[in-house]
Amino acid sequence: MRRRQRAAAGGGGSGRRQAVAHLGGLAAGACIPLITAMFTVSYSDGDARSGELSTPSGAVSTPGLLVYTHRGGSMNLTPDLLEPLRAAGLQGLQLDALQFLNQPTPAVVQGGGGGRKFMALDGPGTVLVATGRDPAIYEYAGAMRQATNEWASVTTPTGAATVTPERYVEAVAALHPDVWVALSDDIPSDSRTDRAAKSVDRTAAWLAACLAAAAQQPGLAAAAAWAAVQGGQYLHERQRYAEAVAGQPGVSGYVLGGLGTGESPEQRQQIVQAVLQRLPAGAPRMLSSVGTPEEVLEAVAQGIDLFDTAYLLDVTNGGYALAFPLSPEADQAEQQAQQQPGAAAGAAAGAAAGTLQAAAGVAAGEAPADACGRDDSKLNLWALAYRTDKRPLLPGCTCFACANHTRAYVHHLLQTHEMTAQVLLEVHNTHHYLQFFREIRTAIAAGRFAAFRDWFLQRRQRWLVSEGGEQ
């Protein structure tokens, strides 16, 4: 069933619940920053929903992808390369504020005109979301991330550092973001019960301190504040914090933090469900550090609106190009093209097959997936099968990489360790993934998201049986 809703981000709505447990320090008094971001839910299909997060700098259509950045820049893309991606749906960027604690310092960033100008991210329509965690860094190997009631020990590009809520807000304010996430005591899923309880209490206290500090920062006068929900794998701790923060003045959105740290998919679904049931229905919800296609679909089905993830970075650094079909129709065309290759079907049939293959991203006569360095979702451009392949990364794709370069060229760049390979792959992968999110939004608006999700998941299962089982 589809329905149309409109609500201010963080508004009470029917989904707001009264807090059942008092968390010390949660009240921020009169020092509450202005909420300037508006969130609109346009369509719902089950628990999945599509809408728009509007900010003074622009809007992000949801479910949406916040493109990953490291130290203020997309890993392999210069600002001019980001511009063509706007047509594919690039609207928002994620910035880890902790990467601006010491090198460069907030003073340096502020002296350079603020984060937007300093990092050349001041193009029209660019929404910046400042967070307190790098999705590409797993900080918990070896020893648990340390914290006291006053500060958290965090990983920065120059090593470990301690950060207080006030120091964190100073770094955030220098970035001039549209949305910022309050500092939280981020812990892995397998933390002990007592550690999870401390994380919840500290995160609540730090939220109040962050809001108070933000009220004194001109750089955050037009920014919306979001709260991170912690609690490890323990549902009662997650629920305790969600219930308490749901009515917090000055908070306009929520981030499910501490996930992607070893919990099972089943645990993650239980955590997301338990938290979302206790948050305002009209507020935006973001899932941090989780973002494969399958994970995105499962989270969207539960009602998640935004994702910050290093998935594209991992794919690009591995030398892969995303190549999965974006719709059931394209998938069907791919299957038909593989069943009737042009060389075996005569001139007329070959032309028809070529048309289907172009629509599906498969060229005439392509070998089975396991024979040419690809699986159900991506191409491995390191594979020797692509050494003389004159096709674009994905036939039919309109990105810069596919419009101007071949698989053979990218393969050559990888083999010679030229960084241009990662540049072209990230251009393509970002373009393709943004198109994937656009298809998700279209499916929700049409009331067929469940069918879209089932098709995508079944397609992978089909490949594992028909292709993976033969290897």
277 & 407 share domain: no
Structural domain of residue 361, as residue ranges? 322-431
Helices (H) and strands (E) in the chain, counts: 15, 16
Annotated binding site: 397, 399, 402, 428
Any domain includes 108: yes
Angle between helices 265-276 and 293-302 (to 10 degrees): 30
Query: Domain tally for the chain?
Result: 2
Rounded CA separation 354/341 (Å): 8
Side-chain half-sphere of 199: how many Cα atoms within 13 Å? Answer: 29
Residue 444 has pLDDT above 50, yes or no: yes
Q: For residue 227, what are the β-bridge partners?
A: 254
Q: List Cβ neighbours of 437 (8 Å cut-off, separation of 6 or more).
A: 63, 64, 65, 89, 296
Domain edge (last residue) among 278, 309, 340:
309
HSE toward the beta carbon, residue 400, CA cutoff 13 A: 17
- Helical segments of 215-264, H only: 235-245
Question: Does residue 422 fall inside a structural domain?
Answer: yes
Residue 461 lies in a domain: no
pLDDT of residue 331: 80
The reply to whether 326 and 302 lie within a common domain is no
Q: What are the tens digits of pLDDT across the range 149-195?
A: 899 888 777 777 889 999 999 999 999 999 999 999 988 888 899 99
pLDDT tens, 35-56? 667 999 999 999 999 999 999 9
Phi, psi of 78 (to 5 degrees): -80, 160
**Is residue 329 located within the same domain as residue 228?**
no
What integer pLDDT is reported at residue 35 of this predicted model? 63
Annotated binding site for Zn(2+): 397, 399, 402, 428
CATH number of the CATH domain containing 302: 3.20.20.105
Residue 9: pLDDT above 60? Answer: no
